[in-house]
Structures are given as C-alpha cells and as structure tokens.
Amino acid sequence: MDLNYLLSSVSDYFNAISNSISPWIYFSVGILKIVFIVISLALFVGAIILLFKATWIKRRYFDNVKVMADYKFSGAKKIFKEWQKITKRLETDIEAEYKLAIIEADGLFDAILAKMGYGGDVTDEKLKKIEPSVLANINDISGAHKIRDNIIHDPDYKLDLEKAKEMIGIYEQALRDLEVF
C-alpha cells in the first residue's frame, strides 16, 4: 500500500462524514461551544474574584504571608538593643524609670506593629486589627497599654517593680510571639 493512497482514503472518509451531517447540527454545536466558553470564562473570573474577596482566605493565607514577609526587617539588632535598654531601667530602684520602661516598651511595640502593616493612628486601633491567632496575649497587651495610658495621663500613678516587670514581660512575650526576637 502506498502512503498517499492511505491518507487519501482517510481524508475521503472524513469528508463523507462531514457532508452527511446536517448544517443545522454544525450551527448548534458552534453555538454550544461559544456558550460553554463564555460560561467557563465567567466561572473562572468569578473564582478569582472570590479568592480575593473572601476574608477567611486572606486571613488564613495572605495575611500570614504578609506578616512573615514583614517581620523579618533589618532592624532586628537595633530593636534588641533598644529592648535591653528598656529592661535595664527595671534594675534601678527608681519608680520613674519603671514608668519610662513601660512607656518605651509600648512605643517600641507600636512602632513594630506599624512596620508589620497594622495601620491605625493609635495602638488600640492596631490591636483591634490583630487576630488572636497571630498574637495570643492580645488582651494582656491591651491591659498593659491601658496602664501605659494611666502613667501618661496621671502623674501620681503608683507603679511598683513587680507590676513593671509583669508589664514588660507581657510586651516581651508579644514581641516573641511576633518573632521580632
């Protein structure tokens, strides 16, 4: 058998089949193809939109990726040195130093939250945007921030060493949870 003869026979066979099919069927199949292509594109675009609109997906995947990307900033050594300076303030017997340590710890924590992308004008607004899965002791941090506010607004606020150590410990745990150091 000759290859040309075989190809010619196959071609004739398919031409005979296509000539026997009604033009109406070709038209119907063409319309169905277009309809299914449009439906497929609409479903694909809808799925993409839902991925970006679904908040649980953002919280579960994208926020964690953002947090992981942002918290490994280059100033980690500087932050650790600043933290050591804050903790040294607790080694004195001066109440004003304890108060200053808490104010500085709160300021450092607020700056780190801002670097991590938690927007807001004040620390309370930033804390509301943090999920408990990201920061386990968020209620303790809120309480420590309230004590910081009391120190700022009430010059007669009394603070002993034990309470100051507790507050600094809360901030330190939060920074460890955020993996700053």
| Helix, strand or coil, per DSSP, at residue 116 | coil
Instruction: Identify how many contiguous H helices and E strands the chain contains and give both numbers.
Output: 9, 0
pLDDT digits (tens, 9 = 90+) for 3-45: 778 778 877 777 776 666 667 777 888 899 999 999 999 999 9
Whether 110 contacts 126, CB under 8 Å: yes
> What is the rounded distance in angstroms from the CA atom of residue 107 to the CA atom of residue 118?
14
| Residues 174/118, Cβ–Cβ less than 8 Å | no
Residues 49 and 117 in one domain: no
Number of domains in the chain: 2
Structural domain range at position 12: 3-53
Same-domain check for residues 78 and 158: yes
Same domain for 36 and 117, yes or no, is no
- Cα–Cα dist 54/77, whole Å: 37
pTM: 0.58
Q: Is residue 21 part of a domain?
A: yes
Residues 49 and 73 in one domain: no
65-106 per-position pLDDT tens digit: 555 555 455 567 788 889 999 999 999 888 899 999 999 999
Is residue 61 situated within a structural domain? no
Q: Which of 171, 80, 172, 178 is nearest to 130 (CA)?
A: 178
Give domain status of residue 60, yes or no.
no
Tokens 């942002």: give the residue.
Answer: 70
Could you tell me the CATH number of the domain that includes residue 136? 1.20.120
Q: Measured at the alpha carbon of residue 6, what is the angle toward residues 3 and 9, in degrees to the nearest 5?
A: 150
Within this chain, do residues 136 and 101 fall inside the same structural domain, yes or no? yes
